[in-house]
Amino acid sequence: MGPMRLLPALLVLGGVAGAGRHDPLLEAIRRKMSALLRRMPDYTCVETIERWKRGQPCADCRSWERLRLEVAVIGGKERFAWPGAAQFEDREIEQIVPPGAIGTGDFSGFAAAVFLSEAAEFEGPFEDRVDGAAAWRYSYRVPPAASRYTLRDGLNSLRVAYRGAFWVDRQSLDLMRLDVEADGLPAPPLQIASARTTIRYQRLPMGASPVLLPVSSELVLTDTSGRTSRNRTSFGHCRQYTGSSAVRFDEPASLTAGSPDPRERRRLPPGLSLELRLAGPVDPESAAAGDAVEAVLARDLRSEGTLWAPRGARVLGRLLSVRHITGPRSGVGLLALEFTRLETSTFEAEFRSRLEMLGGVVPGARKPADVAVAGQENTLVFYGRLLRLPRGLPMRWTIVH
């Protein structure tokens, strides 16, 4: 089965309607949410996703991985990119991240569907508490005919009804939590048996006044074979999007955003061997797929008497996967990375490369064979737990094109 995905499309914004017209408290909540969502500025945040899977890749296996993305809400639409990328992608999120369960709509899709349309039917209020704070709770349901909530399993897609609950602060009426659960599952041929999302909100500073934004979410999916995926996402570093918010973090300090880059652009010939040393450590306790990684040339880059780049030139890349799989008897860690850009004071070059070997033993490994290189996938395989790659770790890469 391919990657599972949730797609809560934005509904057409409407006024207070449905059950709200008979409930003064619900009317007040929906008016407040309508005002907040309608005047929400375009903004961007960094989201860190941890994904756990049970029953994959074997029945008794469990796996974990961590991803990091920039997500922006621009004109009401969510867009994604790797951290520090020059611009946000036009591609769908499942075309950017490694295969697996992924969801969208945490920022505005679900909230708009529940509060700004006439689709939902409500029941409440009920007195409740969220993290010790007094809250009002409402249950809601969106029937199939009014739903625009789509589930995809990689092969099939289906628009489904959904239900859930939301909690607001009893004094301020600020949204605190929103739960969403797909209804009517399983529904063959869709291979998803259940899908549940929980989103928590807080007021965060942005521009002239605080805005209500999600701070975390959890998505739990179970397929029809009983395999479960759980994603926990945290959001941080939120700021107003101005059209230039996605600044490349890996640009040289001497260049400011928007300044012209005077360096020549060159093409490096295939077959060149890059002797690199990591410029900083890679720690699996915090590292995530999407993080930038930097190395320096450990020796001059030469070919047939031509000096292509001097020792010490910066080589830039990105982590592609930070993952651990536990099987019935043992575990294996996988750390995939790529280097794609070389910079000197006078030129830069973009390229594709293949990892050939490590030049030293990774600290913590009992023997060199505990860390292997899968060069075609640019992956380090750790037979046991993932280990920290130290600053200065030597590596050899070959430019393929």
For residues 223 and 343, membership in a common domain is answered with no
Task: Return the half-sphere exposure (C-beta side, CA atoms, 13 A cut-off) of residue 14.
Answer: 14
Q: Identify whether the C-beta of residue 388 lies closer than 8 Å to the C-beta of residue 364.
A: yes
Contacts of 123 (CB under 8 A, 6+ apart): 19, 138, 139, 140
SS3 string, 207-255, reads: CCCCEEEEEEEEEEEEECCCCEEEEEEEEEEEEECCCCCCCCCCCCCCC
Q: Which amino acid is at 327?
A: G
Domain span at residue 40 reads 5-240
Strand partners, 208: none
Confirm whether 85 is domain-assigned. yes
288 and 217 both lie in a single domain: no
178 and 302 belong to one structural domain: no
Whether the pLDDT of residue 284 is over 70: the answer is: yes
Q: Is residue 142 part of a domain?
A: yes
Is 315 in the same domain as 352?
A: yes
pLDDT, tens only, 169-225: 999 999 999 999 999 999 999 999 999 999 999 988 887 778 888 999 999 999 999
Residue 297 to residue 276: CA distance in whole angstroms: 5
| Cβ count near 98 (within 10 Å) | 17
**CATH code, domain carrying 162:** 2.50.20
Identify whether residues 21 and 107 lie together within a single domain. yes
State yes or no: cis peptide before 260, omega within 30 of 0.
no
Rg, the chain, Cα only: 24
* 248 part of a folded domain: no
Evaluate whether residue 310 is within a structural domain. Answer: yes
Task: Decide: pTM greater than 0.75.
Answer: yes
* Overall average pLDDT of the 391-398 stretch: 96
Judge if 186 and 332 occupy the same domain: no
Note the pLDDT of residue 261: 58
Q: Are residues 298 and 212 part of one domain?
A: no
- Report if residue 197 sits inside a domain: yes
Q: Which of 376, 374, 342 is nearest to 269 (CA)?
A: 342
Using DSSP, state whether 370 is helix, strand or coil.
helix
Q: What is the pLDDT of residue 88?
A: 82
Q: How far apart are CA 328 and CA 347, in angstroms?
A: 51
Number of domains the chain is built from: 2
In a domain, 255, yes or no: no
pLDDT of residue 235 exceeding 60, the answer is: yes
